[in-house]
Amino acid sequence: MAIHPPYLNFLGIDPPSDPREARCRVLPVPYDLTTSYQAGTRRGPLAILEASNHLEWYDEELETEAASVGVATLAPVEPDTSGPQAMMDRIRGEASRWIEGERLLVTLGGEHSITAPLVAAHLERWPDLTVLQVDAHADLRNRFEGSPHNHACVMRRVRDMGARVIQVGVRSLTREERQLIAGDDEIITFFAHEIADRPAAAWAVEAAADLGRHVYLTIDLDGLDPSIMPSTGTPEPGGLLWRELTTLLEMTARKATIVGADLVELMPIPGLVAPDFLAAKLAYRIIGLAARQRRWLA
C-alpha cells in the first residue's frame, strides 16, 4: 500500500485512504518522453496533487462531498526510459491492478500518450467502451517523430483497439487526420469552430447522445482555452471554457456511466497556480459525478 505525506495525497487526505478499500484510486503518471514542443508535463501530476490540498471537499453544484467515498492516491508509475513501448506496457499493467468492480481509476498525467494503455486496461473490463476526448488536437497520426506511441498518435491507437471515439474541441489537425475522421463512422468530432457560437447545453447533449453505456474520459487540458489554461506544452486559441466543459461532463454523466478518466498535458508554470487548481478541481468534479451516478453517497 502506498503511503505518502499528506500533501502528496489527492485532497490532502490524512491519514491516507487504503487503496484496497477506496472507491476511487488516483494514479499519477509523471511521463513526457515524446513531448514534441514544450516539455514539462512530467511535473503535472505533482502540481495537481499539491493544488488539490486546497480544494473544499463540498461541491455546491453536485451537493456532494465525494471525498467521503474513499479516495486513495497510488504510488506514481515510474517512467521507463528504455522506450515508449516499455512505458505503455508498464502503465497498462499498473492500471489493470486497480480496475475492478465499480471502483473508479482517475489518472493524472503526464503526456497524452499514457491514455492508450489506460484505455486498453479498461477495455478488458468494459468491451463496449466509448472514449470521450476533450482536446485541441485530433491526435490521430499513425506515427510521429518515428514512434506509434507519440502523444500525437494516442487516439489512433485507441481506435486500433476498436473503441468508439467522441472528440470535442478539436482545432488543430493534419489533412490526413481530417480524411480519417471523414471516413470512420466510429470517430465523431465536434470541432471547436462548429460549437463556438452554440450554447453548451445544446452541443453537449448531442455529444453525449453518441456515447455508449460505458465511457472513459480523456481530458487533454489544451482542450481548454489558453485564457484559463495557459499551462500546456501545445496551446491552441479558441478552446472550451470551464462552464462549457463541466456542462459536457454533466450531460455525459446523465447518459453513460463514467468508468475511468485521465487528465493530461498540464505543464506547470512556476508561480502560476490557477491552472493547477483548475485541473485539481476538474479531477474532483469527475470523482463527484461518478459518486453521484453510483449512489455512493446516498
Q: pLDDT, tens digit, for every residue of 252-266?
A: 999 999 999 999 999
DSSP letter string over 230-287? --SSS--SS-B-HHHHHHHHHHHHHHSEEEEEEEE----BTTB-HHHHHHHHHHHHHH
C-alpha count within 13 angstroms, C-beta hemisphere, residue 72: 18
CATH superfamily of the 25-69+88-293 domain: Ureohydrolase domain (3.40.800.10)
Mean pLDDT of 54-77: 95
Whether pLDDT at 152 is above 80: yes
Whether pLDDT at 3 is above 70: no
Whether pLDDT at 33 is above 80: no
Whether pLDDT at 36 is above 90: no
Cα-based distances in Å from 88 to 32, 115, 149, 150: 12, 9, 8, 11
Whether pLDDT at 141 is above 60: yes
Sign, Cα dihedral of 88, 134, 184, 254: positive
Mean pLDDT of 172-178: 97
CA separation for the pair 288, 292 (Å, rounded) = 6
Q: Which three cell numbers stand for residue 77?
A: 508509475
Whether pLDDT at 286 is above 60: yes
pTM to 2 decimal places: 0.94
Confidence of residue 6 (pLDDT cuts 50, 70, 90): low
DSSP-based three-state secondary structure for 187: strand
Is the omega angle on the peptide bond into residue 110 within 30 degrees of 0, that is, cis?
yes
**φ, ψ at 246 (rounded to 5°):** -70, -30
Mean pLDDT of 193-205: 95
Mean pLDDT of 191-207: 96
- Locate the DSSP E strands across 46-119: 71-73, 104-109
pLDDT at res. 61: 96
- What's the angle, vertex CA 288, arms to CA 188 and CA 139, rounded to 5? 30
Q: How would you label 11-34 residue by residue, b for 16+ Cβ within 10 Å and e otherwise?
A: bbbeebbebeebbbbbbbbbbbbb
pLDDT at res. 248: 98
CA separation for the pair 90, 209 (Å, rounded) = 34
Give strand pairing partners of 151: none
pLDDT at res. 25: 97
Whether pLDDT at 1 is above 80: no
